[in-house]
Amino acid sequence: MTKPLLSAAALALALAFAAAPQTPVTATAKHHIVFELIEPEGGAWDSLVRHINNTRNALAADGGSQVEVVFYGPGLNMLRKTNTAYEERLKKLVDDGVILSACQNAMRVMNIKTEDLFPFASQVDSGIAQIVRRQEAGWAYIH
């Protein structure tokens, strides 16, 4: 009788862990925003940092914000160590509390290893699943 009970408890724990957000959340922020970045370099990359900073500045007096950017598809290249043109700006975002999340599914498809990414980038199991989790938790989704 205890073996089935232990199995059920282990399964419940595993499911709860899998459903939990993959990255930490700042509880004190009033506004929660998740951006996606799937576009290849160019306009999307150039405007990402500006949009995040403008949004955070506008919401600062209104309870602050927690921002996460989920990178998948060709947008994942923005987090590669070889992308030195954006390294300093991305590092500053992280230092200011922005979460930069790399999709592990896209990493596998694109043969990108953890050591290929900036050390300040976090990872999530699935970029789209992470966005779904955030939306279900009430985050605003910017794409």
Q: What is the pLDDT of residue 40?
A: 76
Residue, of 19 and 24, whose pLDDT is higher: 24
CATH architecture of the region 28-142: 3-Layer(aba) Sandwich (3.40)
Residue, of 83 and 44, whose pLDDT is higher: 83
Amino acid identity for residue 4 in this structure: P
Phi, psi of 5 (to 5 degrees): -65, -45
Instruction: Encode pLDDT of 86-120 as tens digits.
Output: 999 999 999 999 999 999 999 999 999 999 999 99
Contact 138, 31 (CB under 8 A): no
The domain spans of the chain are: 28-142
Measured CA to CA, the distance from residue 17 to residue 11 in angstroms comes to 10
Contact 132, 139 (CB under 8 A): no
- pLDDT of 14 higher than 60: no
